[in-house]
């Protein structure tokens, strides 16, 4: 299993970032409750600055290279849950499958509840940036974004869209739901980039 729990070293920080408290619970934070996502109708759409638009159903997504990683999870409201096991497809695998073009500089993630969140492309093209459907050996619970969500251990968790439905490659930066409403656009936990 790939262990991503030492990535704090890259940010010259402690494993539990400043101002965070470790919890063994896994709280649920959603802007508007849990949408119902019918897996038989669900697809992950990938579009924008790509050579190959993708419309992956669940089996097609799981047919890409998958891996299991150990990762920490940092919520901007102050809790961190360490040593999660997530199984999924890494973002670089998706970039390759879609043939992302040189014009792409930014990424917008779209979700079934209308949520969006954004990141620069170079912040996404990392192995730890995972599109996942399994947590600690079980299918990802609906409250935590099942069937499929994004996890971002190098950023606060609001950068990880639950109920993922789309990945859009942009040629200009844009802001997502919380980034338009006062949360930090950069969201680095080791710099406590919580609010803009
Ligand atoms: N689609 C969607 N994704 C979302 C959210 C949301 O409201 N909708 N909330 C974000 C926030 S603010 C956080 S802290 C994490 C919480 O994930 P959890 O509920 O699994 O702890 O999901 C993020 N992803
Ligand atoms: Mo959050």
Residue among 44, 84, 160, 177 to mutate when testing ligand 1 (max atoms within 8 A of CB)? 160
C-alpha span between 168 and 112 (Å, rounded) = 14
Q: Can you tell me the mean pLDDT for 20-41? A: 97
In a domain, 85, yes or no: yes
Q: What is the CATH classification number for the domain harbouring 131? A: 3.90.420.10
The reported pTM is 0.98
Q: Provide the domain count of the chain.
A: 1
Atom of ligand 1 nearest to the CA of 143: 19
In a domain, 29, yes or no: no
In a domain, 65, yes or no: yes
How many angstroms does the Cα of residue 164 sit away from the middle of ligand 1?
11
Exposed, middle or buried, 194 (CB in 10 Å: 0-12/13-18/19+)?
A: middle
Beta strands 54-56 and 44-48: pairing type?
Answer: antiparallel
In a domain, 36, yes or no: no
HSE (side-chain half, CA atoms, 13 Å) at 139 = 6
Residue among 145, 148, 153, 179 to mutate when testing ligand 1 (max atoms within 8 A of CB)? 145
Q: pLDDT for 91-144, tens place per residue?
A: 999 999 999 999 999 999 999 999 999 999 999 999 999 999 999 999 999 999
Range of the domain at 166: 2-7+15-23+42-188
């Amino acid at each position: 299993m790939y262990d991503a729990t030492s990535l704090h070293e890259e940010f010259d920080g402690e494993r539990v970032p400043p101002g965070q408290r470790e919890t063994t619970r896994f709280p649920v934070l959603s802007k508007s409750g849990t949408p119902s996502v019918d897996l038989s109708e669900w697809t992950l759409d990938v579009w924008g600055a790509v050579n190959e638009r993708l419309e992956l159903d669940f089996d097609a997504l799981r047919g890409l290279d998958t891996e299991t990683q150990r990762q920490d999870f940092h919520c901007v409201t102050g809790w961190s849950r360490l040593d999660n096991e997530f199984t999924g497809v890494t973002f670089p695998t998706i970039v390759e499958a879609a043939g992302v073009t040189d014009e792409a500089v930014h990424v917008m993630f779209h979700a079934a509840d209308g949520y969006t969140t954004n990141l620069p492309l170079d912040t996404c093209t990392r192995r730890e940036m995972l599109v996942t459907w399994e947590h600690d050996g079980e299918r990802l619970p609906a409250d935590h974004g099942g069937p499929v969500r994004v996890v971002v251990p190098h950023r606060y968790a609001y950068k990880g869209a639950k109920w993922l439905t789309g990945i859009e490659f942009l040629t200009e930066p844009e802001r997502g739901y919380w980034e338009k409403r006062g949360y930090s656009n950069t969201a680095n936990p080791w710099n406590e980039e919580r609010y803009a």
